[in-house]
Structure 1
Amino acid sequence: MDLRSHLQAGQVIPAQPLALDADRRFSARHQRAITRYYVAAGVGGLAVGVHSTQFEIREPQHGLFKPVLELAARTIDEELARAPRAFIKIAGVCGRTAQAVGEAELARSLGYQAGLLSLSAFKNDTEDAMIAHCARVAEVLPVIGFYLQPAAGGRLLGYSFWRRFAEIRNVIAIKIAPFNRYQTIDVVRAIVESGRDDVVLYTGNDDSIVVDLLTPFSFEAGGRRVTRRIAGGLLGHWGVWTKRAVELLEEIKVARMSGALDATWLTRAIAVTDMNAALFDAANGFRGCIPGILEVLRRQGLVPSVHCLNPHEVLSPGQAEELTRVAQAYPELVDDAFVAANRERWLS
């Protein structure tokens, strides 16, 4: 499989959450079920060991980074053996350079084809230091850049950084997730002006999924106007209601091909963003974003609890009610019936 071509075709790539039981112990059975759910829903890849999986899995007292990556890779391979198709396994890669290189080497040994590279450990470093770090990790594993919003632990990364980042040959994609239109434009313009048409753009802007996917971004580069699109999404939001996400992206691809967009897409865009506001707890600075994902999966019977490894990471007051409201308001975006029809097999 050619990774760049697969990504350029536009894929739904969920960020995998972590399944813990009522005693905050890892539940391999439920973790396996979540992975089976995503494959059955038709996703084109899965990101494991990322923010939604909880960065705490790396802490020695938990020791879950390798077990979680191993289980996801094995489950994906087992499911795809029944119905082979193209699929990308992406591992989260974090920390300073020594740690990140070690994580990339582990991921590669487990069959992961790319690393989603977090720069959260470089909050006070120079641009030169960050570029050198990215280049070193890219020597081990193809890299997907990650513009993570500061509210979730990221830092501001301007046009200059992304223009230089594009010069790293083993960069295959960028997840754009600053939750900010100005900063989103910085990334797209930098890639266009770099001349790299093989660096695929993916949205991580969970607050603007549909608009990102429908927008043609057009900039001057090399004396001509170049238009690029965001091909697909690598999203925490798509860790729930995933079957509907796959269907939505396919509809968007058809709409993009038509060249004419009906205004109802703007209404649908607001519906998805409204759902994300409840899911990610936007009203409270995204504090409940991971518990929000888990609460949807708990209601569907795919995880046993909304517990996180950090006991202070909980649903915010009123968040559960908001999740009920949006699920009732937008039933066309909810896949409860699909989950209910397959849950017992996934949990077996």
Structure 2
Amino acid sequence: MTMNLNPDIRRILQQGVVIPACPLALGAGRKWDERRQRALLRYYLDAGAGGIAIGVHTTQFAIREPQHDLYRPLLRFAAAEMAKCDRPVVRVAGVCGGTEQALLEAGFARECGYHAGLLNLSALAAASEDELIDHCRRVAEVLPVFGFYLNPAIGGRLLPYSFWRRFAEIDAVVAIKVAPFNRYQTLDVVRAVVEAGRDDIALYTGNDDN
């Protein structure tokens, strides 16, 4: 089964909006601070952000580790705050790890009301292209997918045009965040989406060189 995106949310994505990757708010004791996290989320929403991505910022890479175990509490907390907004907000949840972990995270994000999963492939550094595509297809059966080309310098992996061409053929891909910090790799993604005939995939950038 392929997951479909709410038409209103798809329309917002297609228009092009700011979707900040929300940092983790800590108190003086370096513990998660719900009051500060709520204030940060409200700031983004009051400033007019079209969506918020949770569990994807570099400050949140460790939230899945057992000693912190913050992935589920944070996603649930942020979803509740975004639901209070008086306008539609694109809710994006980070989805990481191997296929088993990614499916669990995608399922939980869907239960919390997230619209798409920003799919981080860093944990699959040794996977073949076929294995990567299979991984993406399986996640897309649970939650619409927001592709993510992460800068290899901070844990991403090089993903060739051939990967993005096949990735763009997955029906439940709704957007791609292109952030390899390399204009030629960025063009690989753009060309792949165009040549796949997908005018319904929204392209977002995290590049500072574009």
Q: Which TM-score applies when normalising by structure 1?
A: 0.58
Distance, in Å, in 2 between the alignment partners of 1:194 and 1:118 is 22
Q: Secondary structure in 2 aligned to 1:128?
A: helix
Q: Secondary structure in 2 aligned to 1:115?
A: strand
Distance, in Å, in 1 between the alignment partners of 2:46 and 2:202 is 25
- Residue of 23, 27, 33 corresponding to 2:29: 23
* 1:16 Cα offset (Å): 0.4
Distance, in Å, in 2 between the alignment partners of 1:77 and 1:54 is 21
Distance, in Å, in 1 between the alignment partners of 2:28 and 2:87 is 36
- Residue of 31, 46, 49 corresponding to 1:43: 49
Asked if the contact 1:15/1:53 (under 8 Å) is kept, the reply is no
- Residue of 93, 100, 117 corresponding to 2:119: 117
Distance, in Å, in 2 between the alignment partners of 1:53 and 1:76 is 20
* 1:51 Cα offset (Å): 2.9
- Residue of 79, 96, 115 corresponding to 1:73: 79
Q: Which has the larger share of helix?
A: 1
Q: Secondary structure in 2 aligned to 1:12?
A: coil
Report the structure number with the largest CA radius of gyration. Answer: 1
Instruction: Give the 5 Å matches for 1:126-165.
Output: 126-165=128-167
Count residues in correspondence: 204
Q: Does 1:11 align with 2:17?
A: yes
| Identity %, equivalent residues | 63
Q: What do residues 280-337 of structure 1 show as CA deviations (whole Å, max 9, x unaligned)?
A: xxxxxxxxxxxxxxxxxxxxxxxxxxxxxxxxxxxxxxxxxxxxxxxxxxxxxxxxxx
Q: Secondary structure in 2 aligned to 1:13?
A: coil
Aligned to 2:38: 32
Q: Secondary structure in 2 aligned to 1:146?
A: strand
Q: Which runs of 5+ in 1 are unaligned?
A: 212-348
Asked if the contact 1:173/1:200 (under 8 Å) is kept, the reply is yes
Q: What do residues 8-46 of structure 1 show as CA deviations (whole Å, max 9, x unaligned)?
A: 101000000001122211101101110000000000000
Q: CA RMSD in A?
A: 1.0
* 1:53 Cα offset (Å): 4.1
Q: What do residues 211-253 of structure 1 show as CA deviations (whole Å, max 9, x unaligned)?
A: 4xxxxxxxxxxxxxxxxxxxxxxxxxxxxxxxxxxxxxxxxxx
What amino acid maps onto 2:134 in structure 1? Answer: A
What amino acid maps onto 2:46 in structure 1? Answer: A
* 1:153 Cα offset (Å): 0.5
Q: Which runs of 5+ in 2 are unaligned?
A: 1-5
Q: Secondary structure in 1 aligned to 2:118?
A: strand
Change (3 A) 1:144 1:128: same
